[in-house]
Chain A
């Protein structure tokens, strides 16, 4: 069996990505690898309660200039898109906090005067909870670049497993980095005008990445029907609707996953997993 990698994303924050990702992992009848890639505020551990036993630092290569070799030609500052270097007549200043570690400066330096130092940007913590191998990334406060942590987390993906990835909200670099290489993206939305607005943007990202996708509508009511209309018009399958429910909300408030508050939901989440496996195995077509 090949890997099935499912990323749970949303566009809008607070729609229920972590709720859905945790419930899918807890409903699966097999071992799951769970990655919490919301590295600015990883909180899936609250639902899944893993015992975290390993910790690994993530660092970036940053330029270190050997002033004895440097000819102060200015090539490094000229090509740096992030303005992380300034070249003076007899000195090169570096600004590590601006460096994205693209490697341009040390690759193109004509004098080979630039080597690398390491700058720590965050941590990867891992452990397990029952049948779930759990990993979360933590971006160091004050650091702006989260994609390298997400990239390092994805390197821990093992072969032949079901992988569930909890993405950060939004539609920019960290989300793109999280989605890339996934077999399926599950977009969680809510039936509100804002939920629809941000779903539409997230869908554009998924379409650019060319990944099969589907939707879960969370906290469903019949007040606002435009989300379902949008999904129909865009051939976007709605794989599950989770009705607004006081019992789920109360459990959520206490950090208890929805499938523990309402065990009958497990079967619905399993159907979603089966649908996705069908799509990735080529048995079903979808919005793709």
Chain B
């Protein structure tokens, strides 16, 4: 299973980033905790549709599951259509977040938990 975790850097000790479309990297791991790859988010600075492009990137990388903090409706649509599971509630490092996921502490996301353009602001700038 390929699990993509939104992060601001490219290894297991990197901090996670709650934003989906505008995080810097998707760190891809398996359920054993092995680092498979880090996919650089090329849509990070897109003027619009960053979530859609990020979803396309993960679909192209044949990811099965996405662990994130927030996701808007446009990003959610292609991921769901591709049958990719989405979980929310990430915190700490990539490794810690994978542990939370494997323990069943993350919540599966069925509808968007962020408005459109939700990732345009840095995480600390949001209520």
A interface residues with partner B (beta carbon < 8 Å): 74, 77, 82-84, 86-89, 91, 93, 95, 98
Contacts and interface: CB of A to CB of B under 8 A. Distances in A.
Contact of B77 (A77, A84, A93): A93
Interface of B: 43, 46-50, 52-53, 55-56, 59-60, 74, 77-78, 81-82
B82 A88 contact: yes
A10 to B, nearest CB: 24
Contacts of A98: 48-49, 52, 74
Contacts of B60: 74
A83 B77 contact: no
A87 to B, nearest CB: 7
Nearest to B51: A83
Nearest to B75: A86
B71 to A, nearest CB: 14
A86 B48 contact: no
B59 A83 contact: no
Dominant SS at the A interface?
Answer: loop
B81 A95 contact: no
A84 B74 CA distance: 10
A77 B82 CA distance: 15
List the 10 closest A-B pairs by CB distance, nearest first: A83-B49, A86-B78, A83-B53, A83-B52, A88-B82, A98-B49, A86-B56, A86-B52, A93-B78, A77-B56
Given A93-B77, A93-B78, A95-B74, A86 B59 contact: yes
A82 B53 CA distance: 9
Interface centre among B52, B60, B77 (most CB of A within 10 A): B52
Contacts of B56: 74, 77, 83, 86-87
A93 B81 CA distance: 9
B48 A83 contact: yes
Given A83-B56, A87-B56, A89-B82, 12 more contacts: A77-B56, A82-B47, A82-B49, A83-B46, A83-B49, A84-B49, A87-B59, A88-B78, A95-B49, A95-B52, A98-B52, A98-B74
A91 B82 CA distance: 9
Nearest to B77: A93
B79 to A, nearest CB: 9
B50 to A, nearest CB: 7
Contacts of A88: 59, 78, 81-82
A74 B59 CA distance: 11
A44 to B, nearest CB: 30
B43 A83 contact: yes
